[in-house]
């Protein structure tokens, strides 16, 4: 199958991350998973993915620190971010859209295939 | 009747923050259970993947049930309801290692007991001590690196007359901001956020259980992770063992 593009999944729940990876790979994406923000910046810098799927609350550092970091790198700032979070009802989309967040998914109501639809809708390739 | 209504209203307002925190803490496993169930129902999995997801469903529901059971226990914690007795700290570490083996293995991780020399027994309640350590080890699984083992350890603090039993995880360092909140949470009787994605409810429960056994909980921040421990008084009744 031809690759639809590449995705980096930043999610510290290992089993949820495995599910995202399974679903995205079946949809034809090349996927890499990192469990926390510190490892994420290195992986994103190296892979320069088409889309980043990001959890809001991560072990060690929150997603906001990573979003700040990405914004400070010219080549990484343009990568669209899909925020998949348990806090969707507490986050105003306008507050995070300036950091490259293009879509926000509520983990408590989303379906597994929603991750593919969200990635597809923001990918520029 | 009026008195009962007032009492009920008082209890409700006092418990609101705890209920909110419990809801927050249970949200993650419930979200995972729902996502895994939806994936399972799609029928789009190989036999191996299906078995793996089923195992994850079982382990996740067991973890959520441990939390609800701890909450119930903490809510009805009365000294008269549990017995303090001499307990071998090494044997309890072995019990926890055995009990969580399947959960750790399902995550592709390893929980091991560090080499411990002879230790005197501690005065504790086996069930409460077990719950504290299960709580710490559950937490360590989430915050440790995928390649990092988690260790149960115990050491004698001879000059204090205590034994320290704890769990060491290897993962990203806890930020100073979160660490300050965590150490504050250890000294309070209210649940406080300890680490990102944590409401601090686990720390609060562990604190309640430790206090009920005349012990205390504590934590050490490492460059590559953290240790959480409980300190308990040494039993003088060595002859009982």
Tell me how far apart the alpha carbons of residues B225 and B221 are, in angstroms, rounded to a whole number: 7
Range of the domain at B234: 84-240
B108 with B195, same domain: the answer is yes
Name residues whose C-beta falls within 8 Å of residue B98's C-beta, 6 or more positions apart in sequence: none
Name residues whose C-beta falls within 8 Å of residue B61's C-beta, 6 or more positions apart in sequence: B29, B33
Looking at the partner chain, which of A19, A58, A61 has a beta carbon nearest the beta carbon of B35?
A: A19
Tell me how far apart the alpha carbons of residues B172 and A60 are, in angstroms, rounded to a whole number: 5
- The helix-helix angle for B89-99 and B126-143 (nearest 10°) equals 50
B232 with B114, same domain: the answer is yes
> What is the rounded average pLDDT for all residues in chain B?
82
A8 touches A34 (CB < 8 A) = yes
A26 lies within 8 A of chain B by CB = yes
Which residue, A103, A10, A110, A24, is CA-closest to A52?
Answer: A10
pTM: 0.77
B145 with B61, same domain: the answer is no
Res B208 pLDDT > 70:
yes
Among B24, B44, B75, give the residue marking a domain's end. B75
Other C-beta atoms closer than 10 Å to the C-beta of B224 total: 13
Tell me how far apart the alpha carbons of residues B26 and B32 are, in angstroms, rounded to a whole number: 10
CB contact under 8 A, A16 and B60: no
Name residues whose C-beta falls within 8 Å of residue B137's C-beta, 6 or more positions apart in sequence: B96, B100, B111, B150, B152, B167
Per DSSP bridges, beta strands A81-85 and A101-106 are parallel
Interface residue ranges in chain B relative to chain A, Cβ cutoff 8 Å: 27-28, 30-32, 34-36, 38-39, 42, 44, 49, 56, 60, 107, 142-143, 145-146, 171-175, 195-197
B141 touches B73 (CB < 8 A) = no
Our count of domains for chain B comes to: 2
pLDDT band at B4 (very low <50, low <70, confident <90, very high): very low
Tell me how far apart the alpha carbons of residues A45 and A49 are, in angstroms, rounded to a whole number: 9
Each residue's pLDDT tens digit, B69-120:
988 888 777 766 778 999 999 999 999 999 999 899 888 888 998 887 789 9
Which residue, B211, B210, B174, is CA-closest to B193?
Answer: B174
Beta bridge partners, A32, equal A8
Q: Confirm whether A44 is domain-assigned.
A: yes
Closest chain B residue to the Cα of A110, Cα to Cα: B35
Range of the domain at A35: 5-61+85-122
Res B234 pLDDT > 50:
yes
Q: Which residue has the higher pLDDT, B229 or A74?
A: B229
B108 with B63, same domain: the answer is no
Name residues whose C-beta falls within 8 Å of residue B204's C-beta, 6 or more positions apart in sequence: B21, B74, B185, B188, B189, B190, B191, B192
Q: Confirm whether A104 is domain-assigned.
A: yes
A82 touches A115 (CB < 8 A) = yes
pLDDT band at B145 (very low <50, low <70, confident <90, very high): confident
A24 lies within 8 A of chain B by CB = no
What percent of chain B clears pLDDT 70, i.e. is strictly above it?
83
pLDDT for the residue numbered B7 = 38
Q: Confirm whether A66 is domain-assigned.
A: no
Q: Confirm whether A74 is domain-assigned.
A: no
Each residue's pLDDT tens digit, B20-75:
777 778 888 999 999 999 999 988 889 999 999 999 999 999 989 998 998 888 87
Q: Which residue has the higher pLDDT, B218 or A62?
A: B218
Q: Confirm whether A90 is domain-assigned.
A: yes
A57 lies within 8 A of chain B by CB = yes
CATH of the domain at B104: 3.30.565.10
Looking at the partner chain, which of A60, A107, A111 has a beta carbon nearest the beta carbon of B172?
A: A60
What percent of chain A clears pLDDT 70, i.e. is strictly above it?
94
Q: Is the dihedral of CA A53, B106, A59, B27 positive or negative?
A: positive
Among B34, B49, B75, give the residue marking a domain's end. B75
Q: Which residue has the higher pLDDT, A7 or A74?
A: A7
Which residue, A116, A9, A18, is CA-closest to B55?
Answer: A18
pLDDT band at B199 (very low <50, low <70, confident <90, very high): low
Mean pLDDT of A67-81: 91
Which residue, A82, A41, A22, A85, is CA-closest to B38?
Answer: A22
Q: Confirm whether A54 is domain-assigned.
A: yes
Here the tokens at position B12 are 């409700």
Residue B233 parent element (H or E) = strand B225-233
CATH of the domain at A18: 3.40.50.2300
Beta bridge partners, B218, equal B229
Residue A81 parent element (H or E) = strand A81-85
Q: Confirm whether A112 is domain-assigned.
A: yes
Our count of domains for chain A comes to: 1
Residue B202 parent element (H or E) = helix B201-212
């Amino acid at each position: 199958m031809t690759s639809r593009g590449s995705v980096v999944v930043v999610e510290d729940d290992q089993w949820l991350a495995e599910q995202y990876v399974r679903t995205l790979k079946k949809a034809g994406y090349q996927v890499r998973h990192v469990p926390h923000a510190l490892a994420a910046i290195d992986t994103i810098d190296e892979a320069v993915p088409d889309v980043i799927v990001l959890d809001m609350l991560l072990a060690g550092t929150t997603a906001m620190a990573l979003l700040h970091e990405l914004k400070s790198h010219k080549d990484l700032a343009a990568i669209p971010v899909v925020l998949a979070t348990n806090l969707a009802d507490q986050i105003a989309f306008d507050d995070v859209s300036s950091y490259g967040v293009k879509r926000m998914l509520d983990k408590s109501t989303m379906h597994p295939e929603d991750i593919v639809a969200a990635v597809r809708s923001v990918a520029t390739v | 009747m009026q008195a009962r209504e007032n009492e009920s209203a008082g209890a409700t307002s006092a418990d609101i923050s705890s209920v909110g925190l419990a809801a927050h803490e249970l949200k993650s496993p419930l979200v995972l259970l729902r996502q895994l169930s939806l994936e399972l129902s799609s029928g789009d999995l190989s036999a191996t993947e299906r078995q793996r997801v089923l195992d994850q469903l079982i382990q996740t529901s067991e973890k959520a049930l441990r939390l609800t059971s701890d909450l119930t226990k903490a809510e009805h914690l009365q000294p008269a309801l549990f017995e303090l007795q001499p307990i071998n700290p090494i044997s309890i570490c072995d019990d926890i290692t055995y009990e969580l083996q399947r959960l750790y293995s399902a995550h592709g991780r390893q929980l091991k007991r560090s080499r411990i020399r002879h230790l005197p027994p501690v005065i504790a309640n086996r069930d409460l001590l077990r719950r504290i350590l299960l709580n710490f080890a559950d937490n360590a699984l989430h915050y440790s690196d995928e390649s990092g083992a988690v260790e149960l350890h115990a050491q004698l603090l001879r000059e204090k007359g205590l034994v320290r039993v704890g769990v060491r995880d290897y993962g990203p360092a806890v930020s100073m901001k979160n660490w300050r909140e965590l150490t504050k949470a250890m000294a309070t009787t209210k649940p406080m956020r300890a680490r990102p994605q944590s409401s601090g409810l686990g720390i609060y429960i562990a604190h309640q259980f430790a206090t009920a056994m005349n012990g205390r909980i504590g934590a050490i921040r490492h460059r590559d992770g953290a240790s959480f421990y409980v300190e308990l008084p040494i039993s003088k009744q060595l002859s009982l063992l």
